[in-house]
Each structure stands twice: as C-alpha cells, then as structure tokens.
Chains A and B, each alone.
Chain A
C-alpha cells in the first residue's frame, strides 16, 4: 500500500442531463504506484477524461462524484477542501490535457504563462521561474527556447504548442502526472522523445503516471499496466504483455485488429473494424455494455451486469461471460483472418 501514490476505489461520475442521468464512470477501481505507468485506453466518450478530472477535482460543477476511496500519497482527496485541492494540483499532481489550446491563453506570451504557472504555487522569483521555463522548453525539444518565451501560442505549430503545454505541467515538479492524449498531435519522432522524457522524469522524481491515449503503439511501449475502458467501465486490465499478447475481452481483441501494422496489414485492403457505435450511457444500464457490438454476444450478455473475472494469468482480469479458453479461440480466428 505504501507504494500506491494514487488509490481509487469504486469511483462513479454521474452527470444530470435534460434527458436523464448520464452514468459516465461506473465503479472504477485502480491504483498507481510510484514510478509506475498505468495506461487507460478506450473509445471516445468512454469516460477517460472524466476519470482524470474526477481525480484532479476538476469536474464540471453539475457532475456528481462518488467513491469509496480517493487517496493521493496517503491523503484523502475525496473530501479535501477546494483550496487544498488547488494547492495539490500545483504541487502534487499535474495534468497534461488533450487539447493544448484549452490550457494556453491566446492573449499572453508563452513565457508569461509558464512563469505565472510556477509563481502561483511556488515562492520563486521571476528570474528563477524563467530559468526553469527555458530549461523545460529545451527538455521537451524546443530550440531557441529563450526566444520562444516572447511568442504567442498562435505563432507556434500544433506540435510546438503541445510541447509548451507539457513544459507548463512540469514547472512545479508534480508527484503524479495525468497525461490525457499528450502526444496525439505530435509526429512520431517527437512522440518518442516526449514519452522518453516523461519516462525519464517519472524515474527522476519517482512519479506515478496515468497515460490516457488511443494510440495502442504508445501504450504497448510505455505502460506497465493497461486498463481498457468501454462505456464507463474497465473491461480488461493487466500488464501490457498480457493485454497485448493475450487480449481476452472481445472489445480489446477488436481494437487490436483495427490498427494498421506495417508489414502485417495489406495496403489498400480493409482494416478490421468494430461495427456500430458506443451505447448511450443515459438512464438505467444493465448487462454487458459491449453486447450490441459484440460478434460473440449471447442472450445472457444483456440479462444482468457482467462482473470482472480473472483470466488465466495472475494480474490479468476481464469483464465477459466467455471463458478464457473461448476468448483465446476467438483471438486465434481474428489473427488468422
């Protein structure tokens, strides 16, 4: 337990909508250790961002958060005051958002924003903050960093803006970083650099890292553990080797079949796909959320909630009525097709 920098037990997020209650996150439990990377993957709208906002205490006002436990470095952050949370967000946890322009103010220079971010939380001089800004801009691969300080966000390309965002999050040296699609807009060389950088800093400061991404290549290379989310629930969890080597939930298997792999998928041919779209999470939910898109669905699937069960290896679990053996057979068929 000592090691868990973050402990989440039975987290739910509900959002009241005119059409009913949206059950965006339904009973999530996980933990992140110091020096560990947990990757959360899953389709758009499955609740990844709301999960991270729930941890950060940054949910939209109307959202209702409940949990049995929400602890950061042993401190209860479920019942912490707003002013304590704002302190924690500055010093203990940092978040790298999906879209850099939501966090960068177009009216201020890059330098101004980096320096202010640090001075809001730390008793440092403008010069000290500026030095750290230059240091971090260089670390995230921006050349002529000092001269970039006078530029405005719109003067930078999309990739540069995201790198500035990452530097901003690192200004105060947090214990836990939640990175929500941090490298999506970046090209591969920078992606590798940023991931290496995050991995380096994570070791340097013994930080935990939650990496939210839809890039399975990134997940496979970076994550220690992987949680696959679907429609507000975790449907599969395990080590990266388990989830990628022996995907057991039909959704995970489908996802892995969707991605082009040089030398493996044939050019011009159709990629695998998962028909249909994610279900609405408004109102009463029951049964397996994936059932209506699943080619292996049985009548029992929609009858009652499907629980989490262990796969054949320790530390690997999934939420499906199929046995591990049946799943392995399905996976073999997909691979052969």
Chain B
C-alpha cells in the first residue's frame, strides 16, 4: 500500500489543562474540523478508526456528524501506543477497498472520570501488569519508566542532561507554536535541574503534560487526494509491533528489557519503505516521558544503541540539528493526547505548514508509545 493513501485533512480543538466541553463534543469538533480541512462532506465518510480507550462510541460519532453508511471501523489498544496503528489501519482499509474516506481521532480529558488513574482503585490489584508491581509501590507509568531509565543510564552512561535536552527541545519548539499549552512559558536547563522529582531519576519536566482536547485526521486514496484542497501527506509506509515476550510498560521480564517495541516496529517500517532513517527530514517521537524519545532514536535507527543521549546534545533534536524532533512541542510542551497531536504535526511538516517548519521536508516520521505495543508512520510529501 506504499504511497497509495494519504492524510488529506487535519483538525484539532483548543488544547488546555481543562476544557468545559465533553470528550464527545471535542471529538465531534475535531473530526468536523478535519473534514472541513479536507474539503469532504461528512456524508462521504465510510470508515472510522480510534483508540480502544476512546469514550465515545462509533455509532455516536457517526450519527452526530451525519456520516454515510460506514463499512469499516476498528479500534487499537494500548493507550499511547495506538495512534499510528489507528491511522495506519484506516489507511489500510482504504487501500483494500473496505472504505473510501476514513476518519481517525483521539479525544481525551484528563479531568474525565474514566481517565483519573486512581479512581476506583481496589486494594487488590489483578492483571500480570499490576499484580507483580503495584503492591510494592510501582504505582504509575512514570515509576515503571523510571526503572528502565535508571538501568539505561547505568548501561550506557545516559545523563540527566540528555533527558533535559529532550524537554528543552520540546519547549523551544512550543515557544514558537501558538497552539501549544506551554508556548508562553520559557524553560531553562536550570529550571529543569531544579524541578521536583516525580520518580527518580525522572523529574517533573521528564513527564508529558495533562491536557484536554481532541485531534482528528481524514484519510483517502492518493488518487483522490490529488483533487482535494490540501497537499496530500502520503502514507509511504507504516507498521505496528507487539514484540515477542513483551509485557506492556513493566517490560522487566524478558531478556533485554531496554529493547522495546520500537525495534520490531522499525524493522517492519523500514522493510516497507524505499528509504531509511538517514532520509528522514523530521520526526515526531512519542514523548510521554523524555527517555522514550532517546530510546526511540535508537530503536528507529537514527543512532546505535546507547547513542541516543549524545544524539540530543548541542541542539541535535532541534530545528537545524541532526534530526528535528517534536516540532510542535509534542506531548511535553504542546499537548498530551496519547500522541495524536504528533500525527497532526507530522502531516503539517509534509504540507509545509508547521510553526517550526523543516525546509522542504519530504519524509516525516511519527511514532507511537515506546514501552507499549506501538506503531509508526512514515509520511511523504507528494511531489
């Protein structure tokens, strides 16, 4: 399906720490906005894909927006690992002829009851992800990633300065993006080093934001895309991965815990591409936590294992650097919507409309969560 489908519309709501609107209304607003951007009527939509964590059902979305007869719908699990798989599966359905115009979206409110991490926690915890970790006080995703980060630092000599490079790069990009919730806030290396711990060795600024908002994209065939108003963002290749013996987040029970899902995803992605990591002009790397960006740089082949930290030195992941990363500010400084705003920004880069535009960007990579079953998309401009 290489280059056979394209994202032709993008839409976002306002991003904020707290919005009045419901997740349902935010989803409808973002999807309507993406369809308007694409120049397509809701009645033409016949495909839908979303995260399994999405709180609004497909029937509700379709009925409200006035979709036509929907002939493809799918959901992808694993929270922040889902995003690229959601868009990729919708595109695959278009390529396979199961639908012709598909929408994919994520709407999330951190204040919503379902997303409060400790609402309704019982004293007894089940599931293999929780039973063996939670009783000992490994309670939050940040604690799970802190364990992996400390081992990474031990094995490869990673430093807090490397993690700071990720946080500062995102903030510098956000400072140029009016839609970023942290756009008006300056962060210095001293600010980073002085921030309070959340789970050592990770501090407040190693964590993503908590955001209310929604994003959506519209996907159709590359052929049709060329008749629509926006420059197409071709899906050059995409991949998902749930690697052998992986256990989501608490991936401590395998031979090589630091080799996460990114590696298997990258193998598939590059095998389906005409190009390799050296040809990528700009990347949106999933950043719920700063170390995930460093692991993803290694996993997707931009450097060797253990070299992800130094790769970020001297502005390496900022505009003008080796590989500009998270050019909207990403999950750490624009908005955290389980990575869907990263997908929107990856599309902007091939359109040439980012507020931190990489000049003549042709290949634009976006990845979903590292540390969980994941996905990635390599977009290509149509020229």
The answer to whether A and B interact is no
